[in-house]
Amino acid sequence: MAKEKGRSLIASNRKARHDYHIEDTYEAGVVLSGTEVKALRMGRCSLVDGFAMFSGDELYLENVHIPEYLNGTWNNHAPRRRRKLLLHRQELTKIASKTRESGRTIVPLSMYFKDGRVKVEIALATGKKAYDKRHALRERQDRREAERAVSAARRGGR
């Protein structure tokens, strides 16, 4: 059986980019059971409430919802169980030292298949205040209006 090549997206967490200032991103492997992988192949996953935290010196993905596999039997997985993340030791120590600083958290940005294996893109992030969110929204609206004005001027000039 030929291995899959490339990257296919399973789920992304667009809310994370709205709620947090993203500082560093890392790609991590995930320890999964067989029924979890089958559910992910069906494209079913939610990263919205997810976060990562340390337990001892290991990093775990918490509160990520992978629904039960529909054709699973008695050995089906729990939808919101803790899942261990696989990173190099240097990366783990770097992330651990940065999360000890106040206001920093680890959020999942996306989950995808890369060469047949499930990977999670996690980010070291700082929470945005309400005024930061409003400012970013306003900038996006202003940029969109400027692009509309430019495209209207181009169409009118022809």
The predicted structure's pLDDT at residue 1 = 41
Total domains in the fold of the chain: 2
- Across the chain, mean pLDDT equals 84
CA distance 101 to 125: 11
Answer yes or no: do 48 and 99 share one domain: yes
Question: What CATH number is given to the structural domain containing 28?
Answer: 2.40.280.10
Terminal Cα-to-Cα distance of the chain (whole angstroms): 56
The answer on pLDDT for 2 being more than 70 is no
- AA letter at 158: R
Answer yes or no: do 37 and 112 share one domain: yes
- The model's confidence at residue 158, banded by pLDDT at 50, 70 and 90, is low
Answer yes or no: do 25 and 62 share one domain: yes
For 64-116, the pLDDT digits (tens) are: 888 877 666 666 666 678 889 999 999 999 999 888 877 888 999 999 989 88
Mean pLDDT of 14-33: 88
- The model's confidence at residue 45, banded by pLDDT at 50, 70 and 90, is confident
Answer yes or no: do 36 and 73 share one domain: yes
Q: What domain range includes position 48?
A: 7-127
CA distance 121 to 119: 7
Answer yes or no: do 138 and 122 share one domain: no
The predicted structure's pLDDT at residue 4 = 62
